[in-house]
Amino acid sequence: GQSLEQPSEVTAVEGAIVQINCTYQTSGFYGLSWYQQHDGGAPTFLSYNALDGLEETGRFSSFLSRSDSYGYLLLQELQMKDSASYFCAVPGAGNMLTFGGGTRLMVKP
């Protein structure tokens, strides 16, 4: 089976940097994805790491360490609109995703 653990909630102030961690246990590993979901909205893809290291996309970066079964999402220059839930996920055979429980990020002014 597959399981992913991430903190349930994180709070940060506008303009700050926040890191959301994710640890996983999988039978077979293809990579780690991150999705953002605003309340009542659809999950939207943010990033995917197949190899160790840091991937940067604008204000968002994602890191993976396969040896530690660990990854994180880094959000810089936080904006109010970044308040949302963030999910790490691993694809299985056929690419169906197993999601973590989600981290609710609250950005305060």
Partner 1 sequence: GAGVSQTPSNKVTEKGKYVELRCDPISGHTALYWYRQSLGQGPEFLIYFQGTGAADDSGLPNDRFFAVRPEGSVSTLKIQRTERGDSAVYLCASSPSGGAATDTQYFGPGTRLTVL
Q: Does 38 bind partner 1 (CB under 8 A)?
A: no
**Nearest distance in Å: CB 15, partner 1:** 28
Given candidates 34, 64, 102, 107, which one binds partner 1 under the rule CB under 8 A? Answer: 102
Instruction: Give the per-residue contact string, 39-58, with partner 1 (x = CB under 8 A; - = no).
Output: -xxxxxx--x-x--------
According to the binding rule CB under 8 A, does residue 99 interact with partner 1? Answer: yes
Q: How many residues does the chain have?
A: 109
**What gap in Å lies between CA 69 and CA 75, rounded to an integer?**
20
